[in-house]
């Protein structure tokens, strides 16, 4: 082939360095790793070794009382009749086998401000509960704690609780069980992230843990945090691989931007904006994304009140899934039923269609309906199928 340029000497100087930096920042071609579909938050003073059993029992009792048959499930959640049976079977099996995928012991808003001695005691009792769950084989695959925010002006309290909790877990369990992460809330200043990462590194060395063991989730629950994500292209690499996830905090965020109380909801357009910034800023970095919560329980045990709560929670979970947020917070055992129902229905409804489109691409033919997919869409379809396989188990 005839070309015009006689050589590229000097034109691409530095390319190899930039390309290596690109691969480090944005790992390519990786299927999504397993990610929990939810995080269950329990105040530290209420955590016992039986917490998983308690949530399993409460959610299963609700399913048996009010949604015993696939038809009842379909009627409440508006499911296609063909999906009702497999979804119902999976929900029942999930509640029995693994009702909680990710447990977070809360020392922040769900716990409140306590006397220092009381928080110390609860850090120790929570660690004892974790060690007992680990011995019994009931500790969720992902687990950890949420510490107080540096924005409160007392980082020493935050780190003391983390240190005491981890020290006690390692002492009682003999090691740090797999799946640990820590949630870091109310990030109003970017420097707090680097300071917290350094604390984790130092604590890791002091506990003789393998390098990179202690990772954290940042909460995006203030407009200042959204601005940090928008302006800091080097945020993730600057934290040395310690940033594992970003979790959206709906109530702090909607309050901070001045929404009235009745509009402080997960599906408000202001929350959609924050989620889109999170997706844009963290796309391709490997940092997981999680949505927030519905801070509500059934108003009573009546079928009408429970059904109303489940329908509302299901609608919010579906809203999150449609925005590419496959994880969210669950604050009450009833949420497990609506969470798993909605997640399973979401994945099962599209599974065969997505698989056919991938097969059509591989066979160089049009998919059903004449769809001609682009390579980027195929990558998305493959990732969606992998995520569905993980969620459906």
Q: What is the mean pLDDT of each run of 10 residues along the chain (393 residues)?
A: 82 89 77 88 97 98 96 96 96 98 97 96 98 98 98 96 98 97 97 97 97 97 96 90 96 96 95 96 94 95 96 98 96 98 96 89 75 82 91 87
The predicted structure's pLDDT at residue 360: 83
Could you tell me the strand order of the sheet in which 243-248 lies?
288-290, 243-248, 216-220, 180-184, 142-146, 102-106, 38-43, 328-330
DSSP state of 330: E
The predicted structure's pLDDT at residue 28: 64
The set of residues, in sequence order, having a beta carbon less than 8 Å from that of 148 and lying 6+ positions away, is 107, 108, 154, 157, 158, 161, 185
The predicted structure's pLDDT at residue 24: 83
Q: Are 63 and 92 in contact (CB under 8 A)?
A: yes
The predicted structure's pLDDT at residue 220: 98
The predicted structure's pLDDT at residue 1: 84
The domain ranges of the chain are 32-351
Q: Are 332 and 99 in contact (CB under 8 A)?
A: no
Query: What class, spelled out in words, does domain 32-351 have in CATH?
Result: alpha beta
The predicted structure's pLDDT at residue 6: 80
The predicted structure's pLDDT at residue 29: 59
The set of residues, in sequence order, having a beta carbon less than 8 Å from that of 43 and lying 6+ positions away, is 106, 110, 111
The model's pTM is: 0.93
The predicted structure's pLDDT at residue 30: 61
HSE-up (13 A, CA, CB side) for residue 184: 29
């Amino acid at each position: 082939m005839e070309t015009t340029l006689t050589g590229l000497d000097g034109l691409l100087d530095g390319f190899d360095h930039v390309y290596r930096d690109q691969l480090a920042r944005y790992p390519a071609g990786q299927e999504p790793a397993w990610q929990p579909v939810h995080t269950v938050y329990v105040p530290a003073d209420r955590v016992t070794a039986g917490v998983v059993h308690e949530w399993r029992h409460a959610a299963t009792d609700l399913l048996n009382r009010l949604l015993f048959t696939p038809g009842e499930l379909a009627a409440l959640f508006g499911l296609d009749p063909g999906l009702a049976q497999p979804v119902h079977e999976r929900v029942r099996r999930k509640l029995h086998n693994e009702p909680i995928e990710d447990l977070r012991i809360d020392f922040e808003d769900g716990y409140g401000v306590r006397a220092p001695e009381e928080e110390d005691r609860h850090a120790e009792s929570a660690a004892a509960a974790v060690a007992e769950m680990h011995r019994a084989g009931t500790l969720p695959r992902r687990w950890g704690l949420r510490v107080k925010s540096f924005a409160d002006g007392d980082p020493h309290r935050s780190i003391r609780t983390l240190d005491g909790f981890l020290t006690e877990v390692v002492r009682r369990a003999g090691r740090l069980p797999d799946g640990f992460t820590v949630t870091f809330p109310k990030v109003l200043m970017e420097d707090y992230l680097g300071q917290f990462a350094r604390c984790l590194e130092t604590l890791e060395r002091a506990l003789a843990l393998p390098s990179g063991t202690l990772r954290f989730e940042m909460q995006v629950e203030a407009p200042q945090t959204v601005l940090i994500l928008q302006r800091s292209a080097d945020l993730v690499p600057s934290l040395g691989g310690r940033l594992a996830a970003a979790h959206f905090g709906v109530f702090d965020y909607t309050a901070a931007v001045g929404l009235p109380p009745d509009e402080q909801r997960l599906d408000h357009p202001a929350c959609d904006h924050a989620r889109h910034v999170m997706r844009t800023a963290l796309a391709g970095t490997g940092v997981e994304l999680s949505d927030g919560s519905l801070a509500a329980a059934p108003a009573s045990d009546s079928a009408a009140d429970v059904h109303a709560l489940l329908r509302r929670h299901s609608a919010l979970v579906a809203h999150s899934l449609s925005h590419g947020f496959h994880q969210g917070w669950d604050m009450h055992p009833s949420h497990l039923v609506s969470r798993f129902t909605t997640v399973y229905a979401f994945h099962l409804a599209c599974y065969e269609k997505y698989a056919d489109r991938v097969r059509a691409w591989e066979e160089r033919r049009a998919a059903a309906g004449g769809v001609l997919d682009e390579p980027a869409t195929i990558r998305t379809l493959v990732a969606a199928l992998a995520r569905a396989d993980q969620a459906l188990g």
